[in-house]
Amino acid sequence: MRNTILTILFGITVAFGVLVYFIPQIGTIILLSISGLLSLIAIYDSIQTKHSLLRAFPLVARLRWLFEEERDKIQQYFIEDNLNGTPINREKRSVVYQRAKLQKDTVPFGTQHNVYSKGYEFVKHSLFPKDHHHINGEKVVFGSDKCTQKYESSIINISAMSFGSLSKNAIMALNQGAKMDGFAHNTGEGGISPYHLQGGDLIFQVGTGYFGAGKSVDGKRVFDDAIFKENATRPEVKMIEIKFSQGAKPGHGGILPAKKNTPEIAKIRAVEPGTQVDSPPSHSAFSDFKGMVTFIDKVRNLSGGKPVGIKFCVGNNEEIEEMFKTFSEANNYPDFISVDGGEGGTGAAPLEFTNYIGTPLVEGLVFVNKLLVKYKLKNNIRVIASGKAVDAFDIVKYLALGADAVGMARSFMLSLGCIQARECNLDTCPVGVATQDASLVEALVVEKKNVRVKNYHNKTVAAVKEMTAAMGIESIADIKPSQVYRRRKDEEIVSLEEVYYK
């Protein structure tokens, strides 16, 4: 489609050029034709009955619609400054592009942040910084005693995003990048596609739709031992993640828009192509925490002893504490917990769920961490935090607050060339990352973008090491909440330990 449009435009331009060169009067003819066309549109606007604004302001009202529709782009390109773009501001987006492309990632002249504003956060450095080349702790071992196949993971991994929400080229580039720098790629709830099998380590996510782990029985999605086992025992799969909720739409199952449900994706998910696929809001394999613990055990056994985790966004605190109580009483628990923040990203979600449901990551992470300590499970269960982590400070802060590793989704999309067009739900992603439109997918060249994924991971881990070294400690694992500070009031700076752990 894109190529056809470009070819037609090129053809028209060349034809006009040739005509004007040989017949100068053609310029007048073209102008007369354009004004004639505009007059016809104006007449149509004034007599049509569907849009009152157009009837009142023929032609001119179309400009308003154009600006309305393109408002986000105009805002992003012409108005946005470095610190106010949402959800990920330009400063953060730029550092991803720079690190992915191995461009200069230093900034001139000084910070653009107002260090005296309420909420400003920073780490305290040492007068005796360490040599960043010798910082360790960039790897974390996942897996309790119940695991026969523990996994040594990077502190930074690609958070869940399915083939379906992302294009096949995006999935391939992510997986190849993960292979190049030795980190893990979460499949998302859409199952494992051939594009995930490029040699990178996988975290196989099992959502409520059980795609790649179940089937439809009487219109209901159910877990199937054999289907799950076939995928979970693949050598690429290093860990399993059972998804309960994600921060962008907690309490709502995944949504695959009809336009993105191609025959290929439908086949992988065993659903009807061209229809919107809504995952159920909750699991059919169990209905309480005791059942959940049994299910975790079963999944671990079926996978051949790989670490099994659960992913959720913190909601009802009493309910979550009940879950930890069950873990403790049964002496049976997941190997890791992925805590997702309400600020998390999505391919498609209802507005109210995105804006008004789900605890933000910092409070959710602290709550989970406190429960791990209270129920003496801190040494047994690893924590992955996800929620708008982009640069090394975000990662250091989440590690300080209790995470062992950080999952990042949108920053890895940016490393693939995502321009935050926010069209993931429309199938029109202009850079081929979050679309199934074949002509747009072609725009993403896997052999170029896989290296960018690798570079971004590599440079970000290096930046975490540099920050750790500046703090005067030798291991990333030793970062504490007492080392990160926040301006709480105009004249008061407090450590995150004081804010959350005292």
Residues that bind ligand FMN (CB under 6 A): 159-162, 165, 188-189, 205, 243, 246, 254, 311, 340, 344-347, 386-389, 408-411, 424, 434
Q: Where are the alpha helices (DSSP H) in 419-482?
A: 438-441, 446-470
Q: Where are the alpha helices (DSSP H) in 126-242?
A: 168-181, 225-232
C-beta closer to ligand FMN: residue 183 or 485: 183
C-beta closer to ligand FMN: residue 354 or 468: 354
Q: Least Å distance between CB 389 and ligand FMN?
A: 6
With contact defined as beta carbons under 8 Å apart, do 180 and 450 qualify? yes
Closest CA to 142 of 371, 382, 303, 358: 382
Q: Least Å distance between CB 243 and ligand FMN?
A: 5
Q: Least Å distance between CB 165 and ligand FMN?
A: 4
Dist CA 376 CA 325 (whole Å):
10
Q: Least Å distance between CB 231 and ligand FMN?
A: 15
- Side-chain-side CA neighbours of 124 within 13 Å: the count stands at 12
Q: Least Å distance between CB 341 and ligand FMN?
A: 7
C-beta closer to ligand FMN: residue 434 or 484: 434
With contact defined as beta carbons under 8 Å apart, do 432 and 170 qualify? yes
Q: Least Å distance between CB 63 and ligand FMN?
A: 32
Dist CA 148 CA 154 (whole Å):
19
What tokens does 209 get? 């739709």
Q: What backbone torsions phi and psi does residue 291 show, to the nearest 5 degrees?
A: -65, -35
C-beta closer to ligand FMN: residue 329 or 352: 352
C-beta closer to ligand FMN: residue 205 or 495: 205
Q: Least Å distance between CB 48 and ligand FMN?
A: 38
Closest CA to 236 of 200, 190, 187: 200
C-beta closer to ligand FMN: residue 60 or 258: 258
C-beta closer to ligand FMN: residue 59 or 443: 443
Q: Least Å distance between CB 247 and ligand FMN?
A: 6
Dist CA 262 CA 270 (whole Å):
12
Closest CA to 153 of 111, 203, 115, 199: 203
C-beta closer to ligand FMN: residue 54 or 313: 313
Cβ burial of 224 (10 Å; 0-12, 13-18, 19+) is middle
Beta strands 336-340 and 308-313 are parallel
Q: What is the DSSP letter of 125?
A: -
Dist CA 136 CA 134 (whole Å):
6
Q: Least Å distance between CB 352 and ligand FMN?
A: 17
C-beta closer to ligand FMN: residue 159 or 359: 159
What tokens does 74 get? 């105009």
Dist CA 392 CA 477 (whole Å):
14
Chain mean position to CA 197:
20
Dist CA 185 CA 121 (whole Å):
30
Q: Least Å distance between CB 343 and ligand FMN?
A: 7
C-beta closer to ligand FMN: residue 256 or 479: 256
Q: Least Å distance between CB 296 and ligand FMN?
A: 17
As a dihedral over the C-alpha atoms of residue 160, residue 166, residue 167, residue 172, rounded to 10 degrees, the angle is -20
Q: Least Å distance between CB 171 and ligand FMN?
A: 11
C-beta closer to ligand FMN: residue 189 or 391: 189
C-beta closer to ligand FMN: residue 385 or 479: 385
Q: What is the DSSP letter of 24?
A: T
With contact defined as beta carbons under 8 Å apart, do 313 and 247 qualify? yes
Chain mean position to CA 396:
19
Please state, in angstroms and as integers, the Cα–Cα distance from residue 359 to each residue in 202, 327, 387, 468, following that order.
Answer: 27, 22, 11, 28
